[in-house]
Amino acid sequence: MAREAGGEEPVPRYPLGAGAVIGYAIVLALNGKLGWQHLSLALLLWTCLAPQEAPRRFMRDWWPMVCFWLGYDMMRIFSSSLLPRVAVESPFQLESRLFLSPDGTVWPFYFTRWMSRHGSEFWPRVLSGYCNAVYISHLFGVPVVLLVLWLRRSELLFRRLVWSLTLLHALSLAIYLIYPAAPPWWVFENGLLQPSVRHSMPASFAPGSPLAGLFDLSPNRFAAIPSLHAAYPLLLTLVLYLHGSRSSWTALAGFYAVSMWFACVFLNQHYIIDLLIGAVLVFPALFVAARIKP
């Protein structure tokens, strides 16, 4: 294959990747799990076969992230089979032994009760809005950072983040399968009841509401351990520090990590132990980042 004028090898098309995307869509359809959110599969198909080289370069550089997104999304096919063995009592009991709040309960419950008393006041509403914005940013925060680095051709930092995230994702997916765990909101609303197919939604979400619809899109509602909400910003902060990025960017990432950790507990979405287990998984991922050289 001839080199381009710029001296770079042309990026090939990926027919096997295209076939895998089509096959995955067929599997989803056969299991009744193909939804409007899977329109993005058409975009992935285009990146494999596009006549333009830029989208094919995207698939070449981003395929580890794509594999994780598809692997996690695949859990919607069989996540209901995990419900009978979701750990409900053991995470709650461990949290209760290690991290008690001033009122003798766990911190996620403490903040939920505090908001029920002060939710009509101005500053608690501001705090709640900030925490919700930070928590939701998990869906796009790190992908946006990766996209900016990729567009700016910051190849070393991009590769360090992608491959450290790849190990983090592999470890997390394995734990989600081996040890599905209930988040604190489940215990707060249902006690130690085992979740079931019919009963696995937060009671605070009205049936048919936008929030219920968004939650219903989740491939696995009981993947509290480890917390990727906690791991992502911590890994980002440490990789930026390892890379020697500007101190202002590293400090901003650190502030984002602290905000995310607080939001996870404040919103009753994670126990502190969930966050700590996510943090433990960051360090082998960081080792991978350190091994990637210019």
- Which uninterrupted H or E stretch holds 95? helix 89-98
**What does the DSSP assignment read for 23-60?**
HHHHHHHHTT---GGGGHHHHHHHHHH-SSHHHHHHHH
pLDDT at 212: 64
- What's the pLDDT tens digit per position in 59-118? 999 999 999 999 999 999 999 999 999 999 999 999 999 999 999 999 999 999 999 999
Query: 44: closest CA among 30, 60, 28, 27?
Result: 60
Tell me how far CA of residue 91 lies from CA of 57, 67, 184, 200, 270, in angstroms: 43, 29, 9, 17, 10
In the predicted structure, residue 273 carries a pLDDT above the cut 50: yes
Structure pTM?
Answer: 0.91
81-98 tens-digit pLDDT: 999 999 999 999 999 999
Looking at residue 214, its amino acid is L
CB atoms within 10 A of CB 141: 18
Torsion on CA atoms 65, 257, 292, 139, rounded to nearest 10: 10
> Domains of the chain: which residue ranges?
1-73, 83-291
pLDDT-based confidence at residue 3 (cuts at 50, 70, 90):
very low
The answer to whether 286 and 163 have CB atoms below 8 angstroms apart is: no
CA-based radius of gyration for the chain? 21
Contact 280, 230 (CB under 8 A): no
- Neighbouring CB atoms inside 10 A of 221's CB total 22
Look at residue 122 and tell me whether its pLDDT is greater than 80. Answer: yes
Decide: helix, strand or coil at residue 270: coil
Taking CA atoms, 99 is separated from 43, 93, 259, 262, 274, in Å, by 45, 10, 19, 14, 12
Share of the chain above pLDDT 90, in %: 82
Quote helix, strand, coil % in the chain, to nearest 5.
70, 0, 30
DSSP-based three-state secondary structure for 164: helix
Using DSSP's 3-state secondary structure scheme, residue 52 falls into coil
End-to-end Cα spacing for the chain:
26
- Which amino acid is located at 12 in the chain? P
3-class DSSP assignment, residue 153: coil
Count CB-CB contacts under 10 A for residue 157: 21
| 191-222 pLDDT, tens digit each | 999 999 888 878 766 565 555 666 777 898 89
Of 85, 92, 72, the closest CA to residue 190 belongs to 92
DSSP 223: B
3-state DSSP call for residue 195? coil
